Structure 1
Amino acid sequence: LFNHLRRKGKAYQPRGSKYAGRGYIKNRISIDERPKIVEKKARIGDWEIDLVIGKGHSGALVTVVERKTKFTVSKRINDKTAETVTAATISLLKPFKDLVFTITADNGKEFAYHERIAKALGAKVYFADPYGSWPRGLNENTNGLLRQYWPKLTDFKKVSQGEVSAVISQLNNRPRKTLDYETPAKIMAEHMALLRA
């Protein structure tokens, strides 16, 4: 049933090539320049960002997932302008600033102000190759889980941030096989505590 729910609807398509022409992003840094350690998931602090778009582009969720722990943060937004997405991203990750080393995004123009994000968080922002494929298993899986709660025809302007936070809390407190049945929330909390010690 879970697999049926998660895969219902159109097959997932990587956004890289499809959205390649959506807008020029000044001073973008290619994923090819991203440190190799990020791909190995050998540390906590490397994040992937994406948008879950609402019906008729009416509202969206900014969703950021930490690669090693699968810890997720998300904010509901009314529009997907670069200004709005930038502010949401900074507010989501500021509490974890000491554990934000890299952020990887696709080439959507909503990420045009990546330099502001990088400066505010002391991190590097990398972009996928617009004409190549980028393995997005983590984002795809997370967005698939969110779509169980909010199908593709959802109008996110009618969804409260409280509802979003409640769902994200459920995901973060769900034991994961890839984490030896620990939860993303527990692992992230332990690492945050170590940083503050």
Structure 2
Amino acid sequence: MRISHEAIYQSLYVQSRGGLRRELTACLRTGRALRVPRERVRGRGKSFVSPEVMISARPAEVEDRAVPGHWEGDLILGLRRSAIGTLVERTTRFTILLHLPPDKEKFAERERTATGVRGAVMGHGAEAVRDAIATAITTLPAQLRRSLTWDQGAEMSRHADLRINHGLPIYFCDPNSPWQRGTNENTNGLLRQYFPKGTDLAAHSPDELDAVAAALNSRPRKTLGWRTPAEALDELLANTQNDSVATTG
């Protein structure tokens, strides 16, 4: 007899009417006491996500990590809806952090009109996230700008601009499927050591974000043969340059 993981989850949660007992919840890393079955969240995709940009349409080369330049991204959120953007390269695990400061101009506009555009006010509206990603990727060599995978957050509703203006294809995970960008999820877990939940992330300057990214990128990883992400990236770029010289020579 085979029992699906969904049935196991439900048997645990149903015992206390949809929630785990307090002592069990305390043992979970996420501390999440409630769970929504996958069937309930299917079909909740955002209007700006079409079939051709879903993760199922992503090139097959992304999966085995043999080809560099494919990124995963997300936002980590803090107090008063502050946010930091995270980009992680799948092959080398190299991390870039995006500074998303509060938008003071739009905050003043909200105070005048009471429109309540909270995401834009806090600096992680669609335009702010688009511009931050564009600024980060334009510093990278062309071979490291192959694709970006994100979840279906409203902050990516201007994703077409990145493809049209900067040649960066964007692909979206299925709704409520963070495991489809697992490299980024793992990195976000590491980042919480530096940016704990419940703190104001807007208090961190670009220099502070760069310092944290440098700390992660200089951290040896077992999956990289105990090289650091920075070393793996440097080696990758050196090999690419050597291949280019050999081809032209």
TM-score normalized with structure 2 length? 0.68
**Distance change in 2, residues 1:193/1:95 (3 Å):** farther
Alpha-carbon distance between aligned partners in 2 of 1:119 and 1:107, rounded to the nearest angstrom: 19
- Which 4+ runs in 1 deviate beyond 6 A? 16-20
1:38 equivalent in structure 2: 62
Residue of 234, 237, 249 corresponding to 1:189: 234
Task: Kindly indicate whether the alpha-carbon contact (under 8 Å) linking 2:74 and 2:151 is maintained by their aligned counterparts in 1.
Answer: yes
Aligned amino acid, residue 136 of structure 2: L
Alpha-carbon distance between aligned partners in 2 of 1:44 and 1:61, rounded to the nearest angstrom: 24
**Distance change in 2, residues 1:186/1:18 (3 Å):** farther
Alpha-carbon distance between aligned partners in 1 of 2:176 and 2:29, rounded to the nearest angstrom: 27
Alpha-carbon distance between aligned partners in 1 of 2:56 and 2:216, rounded to the nearest angstrom: 30
Structure with greater contact order relative to length (CA < 8 Å, sep ≥ 6): 1
Residue of 84, 109, 114 corresponding to 2:128: 84
Task: Kindly indicate whether the alpha-carbon contact (under 8 Å) linking 1:73 and 1:168 is maintained by their aligned counterparts in 2.
Answer: yes
2:76 equivalent in structure 1: 52
Alpha-carbon distance between aligned partners in 2 of 1:81 and 1:19, rounded to the nearest angstrom: 25
2:166 equivalent in structure 1: 121
Alignment of 1:46-195 (within 5 A): 46-57=70-81, 59-78=82-101, 79-98=123-142, 99-130=144-175, 134-195=179-240
Identity among equivalent positions (%) equals 37
**Distance change in 2, residues 1:163/1:22 (3 Å):** farther
Alpha-carbon distance between aligned partners in 2 of 1:63 and 1:20, rounded to the nearest angstrom: 26
Task: Kindly indicate whether the alpha-carbon contact (under 8 Å) linking 1:76 and 1:156 is maintained by their aligned counterparts in 2.
Answer: no
**Distance change in 2, residues 1:18/1:152 (3 Å):** farther
Task: Kindly indicate whether the alpha-carbon contact (under 8 Å) linking 1:175 and 1:183 is maintained by their aligned counterparts in 2.
Answer: yes
Alpha-carbon distance between aligned partners in 2 of 1:186 and 1:140, rounded to the nearest angstrom: 22
Structure 2 unaligned spans of 5+ = 1-27, 102-122
Write the deviation string for residues 19-53 of structure 1: whole angstroms up to 9, x where unpaired. Answer: 98585215561111111111111111110010011
Task: Kindly indicate whether the alpha-carbon contact (under 8 Å) linking 2:125 and 2:155 is maintained by their aligned counterparts in 1.
Answer: yes
Alpha-carbon distance between aligned partners in 2 of 1:132 and 1:146, rounded to the nearest angstrom: 20
* Number of residue pairs aligned between Structure 1 and Structure 2: 189
Task: Kindly indicate whether the alpha-carbon contact (under 8 Å) linking 1:61 and 1:75 is maintained by their aligned counterparts in 2.
Answer: yes
Deviation for aligned residue 1:108: 0.6
Task: Kindly indicate whether the alpha-carbon contact (under 8 Å) linking 2:45 and 2:175 is maintained by their aligned counterparts in 1.
Answer: no
Alpha-carbon distance between aligned partners in 1 of 2:41 and 2:233, rounded to the nearest angstrom: 34
Task: Kindly indicate whether the alpha-carbon contact (under 8 Å) linking 1:61 and 1:74 is maintained by their aligned counterparts in 2.
Answer: yes
2:106 equivalent in structure 1: none
**Distance change in 2, residues 1:125/1:144 (3 Å):** same
TM-score normalized with structure 1 length? 0.84
Structure 1 unaligned spans of 5+ = 1-6
Alpha-carbon distance between aligned partners in 2 of 1:150 and 1:131, rounded to the nearest angstrom: 23
Deviation for aligned residue 1:179: 0.3
Which stretch has the larger CA shift, 105-114 or 91-100?
Answer: 91-100
